[in-house]
Structure 1
Amino acid sequence: MRDVRATAEPTTNTLARSWREEPRVVTRIEREAAVRSWLLLSAAGADTSRTDWDENGIALLRCGALFSTVRMSAELVEAAAGSNEPEKVRDVLTAALFGGPVFVDTHSGRYYALVPASTANRAEWRERRHAPHAEIRGRDSYVGVPRPGLDEPHPGRFSYWCVPMHGPADLCDPAAVSQLVAHGRHRLTTREAVSGR
């Protein structure tokens, strides 16, 4: 009579090994490609936006479906960071927003934090409590988003990711963005009071 355990054991070990697959390392190129594909789901025309990214480094994407953006003045963000040096601002944003994605448009002097689409429905943003230094861009809004991978300023290009997106749907915590904005507003108000304005 055959020993059933002898034949069953290798099968069990084989299954156990397949369930314990080694973690896979994702390269930066793969991550950026995944982020790019996810962001293009918000494009009016994916081919047009892809071409815009390739040629101009920026593409117009629709807010309110996959994500909304909190648009903040550079004055506010730099007050919150206590500096106008790009490296210092990047470090503060990375820490304060737990690595959530933020890009900057140096031409308009605005920072954009990507947040979940539902953020636009929150009372604190609907009531414009953070105006005039910050506002939500939700449904029916469009924003020029830099191509994933543009993580540094480039000559002739005004927008870049000061905190890159780490993966599809990896967005900022709205509460953290709200706290950052409140901190920046407090510092601006204190500065104005001290200068007598």
Structure 2
Amino acid sequence: MAAEQWLLATLPTPTRERARVEWEQHEVALLPLGTLFSAVRIPGRLVAALTGSTEFSELDEFLHEALDGGPVICDPQYFRYYVLVPAGMPRTWSQAVDDWRALDVDCLGLGSFLGVPKVEAEACARTHTPYWSVPMDSPATLCRPLSVARLIAAARHCMTTEPSS
């Protein structure tokens, strides 16, 4: 429950109960980014290119290894991953983020919101409900920006060197 409390700390105290209700009723709560953490949105096709698979369980395992167990949310409806990173990453990595947009990768920070699944949602149960591809093991544990950048660079390389069909 410590991870849940940390996630809820992104909200003012009076609205935290609303987020708990959203988790109970919809399994996802909308949380603001840019204060405690930000998120890098990565299209699933990039992760699939690196693994040669589209099976969620295999992609989840790959991301766990590639990002050293840092937390990742999967949105299976749109086949996107949201890698949780330190709050300042959108500012400090702005040049890289600009380059990544050609791959449809974006870094979401202040002024953005993310649908965060309840902490227990650790498997793709339904095809449209977000879940923790890589669970948040403890509060404030985030993905290292350099690991995220290496993953994106590897995906870019993989996408540009794939043989044409």
TM-score by length of 2: 0.92
After superposition, give the CA deviation of every residue in 1:54-82 in whole Å (9 maximum; x if it has no partner).
11100000000000000000111111223
**Residue in 1 that maps onto 2:132:** 161
After superposition, give the CA deviation of every residue in 1:21-76 in whole Å (9 maximum; x if it has no partner).
xxxxxxxxxxxx11110000113521111100011100000000000000000111
What is the count of residue pairs matched by the alignment? 162
Segments of structure 2 that go 5 or more residues without pairing to the other structure are: none
The reply to whether residue 72 of structure 1 matches residue 42 of structure 2 is: yes
Indicate how the Cα distance of structure 1 residues 176 and 127 shifts in structure 2: closer, same or farther if over 3 A, else same: closer
Tell me which of the two structures has the higher relative contact order, counting C-alpha pairs closer than 8 angstroms and 6 or more residues apart: 2
The reply to whether residue 103 of structure 1 matches residue 73 of structure 2 is: yes
Q: Give 4+ residue runs of structure 1 displaced > 4 Å after superposition.
A: 124-127
**Residue in 2 that maps onto 1:24:** none
The reply to whether residue 134 of structure 1 matches residue 105 of structure 2 is: yes
CA contact (8 A) 1:119 1:125 kept: no
CA contact (8 A) 1:80 1:181 kept: no
Indicate how the Cα distance of structure 1 residues 99 and 38 shifts in structure 2: closer, same or farther if over 3 A, else same: same
**Residue in 2 that maps onto 1:173:** 144
**Which of 28, 34, 41 lines up with 2:2 in the alignment?**
34
Indicate how the Cα distance of structure 1 residues 123 and 50 shifts in structure 2: closer, same or farther if over 3 A, else same: same
CA contact (8 A) 2:38 2:86 kept: yes
TM-score by length of 1: 0.77
Cα separation, 1, equivalents of 2:44 and 2:140: 25
The reply to whether residue 48 of structure 1 matches residue 22 of structure 2 is: no
Q: Which amino acid aligns with 1:122?
A: T
Q: Which has the larger radius of gyration?
A: 1
**Residue in 2 that maps onto 1:94:** 64
Indicate how the Cα distance of structure 1 residues 125 and 46 shifts in structure 2: closer, same or farther if over 3 A, else same: farther
